[in-house]
Amino acid sequence: MNKSILIKATLLVSLGLTLLGITASVSADNDKKYRWRLAETWGPNFPIFGDASKNMARMVKEMSNGRFTIRIDSANKHKAALGIFDFVKSGQYQMGHSASYYWKGKDFNAQFFTTIPFGMIASERHAWFYYGGGMELMKKVYDQYGIMSFPGGNTGNQMGGWFQKEINSVEDFKGLKIRIPGFAGEVLAKLGAKPINIPSGELYTALERNTIDAVEWVGPSLDLRMGFHKIAPYYYTGWHEPGAELQFMVNQKAYDSLPKDLQAILTVAMKAAAYDMYAQSMHVSGENLASLKKDYPDIKMRSFPKSVMNAIKQTNDDLLNEFATKDPVTAEILKSLNDYKNQIRAWTDLSEKAYLDNFDE
């Protein structure tokens, strides 16, 4: 049906409805267009993280036949990488793509929905979110801000960082200047390290000139573009972000104003894009690790010695226990995370870990 015929038909229907005493337009809800904007923490064309929001917006547009489109503003546009929470809360943007642990200054409990040191890996965390009560706890925290929070893509287990020197004992952390943000930094500080916050653009030079001794970033999927492998010989495995899940945020009122089918389209698109990001993270990590090993065969990949790992874990447990005494919601979230991890880890160990162990030399 071309447009002019549609208009004529609509006029006739309007006439008919008027004759029937009805003044409403014939236009059903499914002709109304929804034009949303999403603000993301990342810069434009940031790999993997940025693909998650683009994939989500593409699926929404295709599934809604163009009735619902979402424009993405990267950090260069809105100039507030860590302003996403406020943008979505105020409704200035209907949506955001970021990470919940950035909002611990807004709400202390927000940080636990991304990852915690010695917590669950991606497959376990997805089970917790969707089947183990995680979504309900996240709603409890975010409801009070008029924000809906959803999983936004998993990085997989992150690497412990690039180090100039080998770590042989807990003593080696004393005075160690390391870029490692947030909770993990607090843990290492208790062991004597000096966590330092440096803008990402200056990290390479800081590591090269020994302004810092180590830098934690993500993993092979995103580290190689930073160039750290050219100047630091040790690449340590991770303990601090075993399955960091990014976050889609939606302004509750904006969501409520959508017709039910577009609400469903948005929700499913966010979920599929988030799951896909973990698959993409795995894929790119595999590719980049292969090229790293080929082009930089002298990089030494290590895990911290058992004694060091035990000390870090004990410090971490103490800190979490301290948190739990301060607020009942914190206690509830940490208990849920811990109980669930213990239950599902028994299965991970008996299934995928036992399977992988069979390949060990």
Cα separation, 255 vs 242, whole angstroms:
31
Asked if 115 is part of the footprint of its own copies (rule: CB under 8 A), the reply reads no
State which H helix or E strand residue 334 sits in.
Answer: helix 328-348
State which H helix or E strand residue 261 sits in.
Answer: helix 260-295
CB of 131 to its own copies, least distance (A): 4
Asked if 282 is part of the footprint of its own copies (rule: CB under 8 A), the reply reads yes
Asked if 346 is part of the footprint of its own copies (rule: CB under 8 A), the reply reads yes
CB of 146 to its own copies, least distance (A): 24
Angle at 341 between CA 47 and CA 146, to 5 degrees: 60
Cα separation, 57 vs 248, whole angstroms:
12
Asked if 65 is part of the footprint of its own copies (rule: CB under 8 A), the reply reads yes
Bridge-partner residues for 150, per DSSP?
Answer: 248
Nearer to its own copies, 7 or 80 (CB): 7
Asked if 80 is part of the footprint of its own copies (rule: CB under 8 A), the reply reads no
Nearer to its own copies, 68 or 87 (CB): 68
Q: Which of residues 162-191 bind its own copies (CB under 8 A)?
A: none
Q: How many other β-carbons are positioned within 10 Å of the β-carbon of residue 28?
A: 8
Cα separation, 99 vs 152, whole angstroms:
8
In the shown chain, the binding pattern of residues 302 to 321 toward its own copies, with x for contact by CB under 8 A and - for none, equals -x--x--x------------
- On whether the CB atoms of residues 98 and 80 are closer than 8 A, the answer is no
Cα separation, 119 vs 154, whole angstroms:
14
Over the Cα atoms of the chain, what is R_g? 24
Nearer to its own copies, 186 or 261 (CB): 261
Asked if 132 is part of the footprint of its own copies (rule: CB under 8 A), the reply reads yes
DSSP for 29-56, please give it.
Answer: GGG--EEEEEEESSPTT-TTHHHHHHHH
CB of 80 to its own copies, least distance (A): 31
Cα separation, 214 vs 212, whole angstroms:
6
Asked if 252 is part of the footprint of its own copies (rule: CB under 8 A), the reply reads no
Which stretch, 83-91, 103-111, 142-150, 351-359, contacts its own copies (CB under 8 A)?
351-359
Total residues at interface with its own copies (CB under 8 A) = 86
Which stretch, 32-40, 97-105, 208-216, 255-263, contacts its own copies (CB under 8 A)?
255-263
Asked if 345 is part of the footprint of its own copies (rule: CB under 8 A), the reply reads yes
- On whether the CB atoms of residues 213 and 174 are closer than 8 A, the answer is no
CB of 354 to its own copies, least distance (A): 4
Out of 38, 271, 316, 334, point to the residue binding its own copies (CB under 8 A): 271
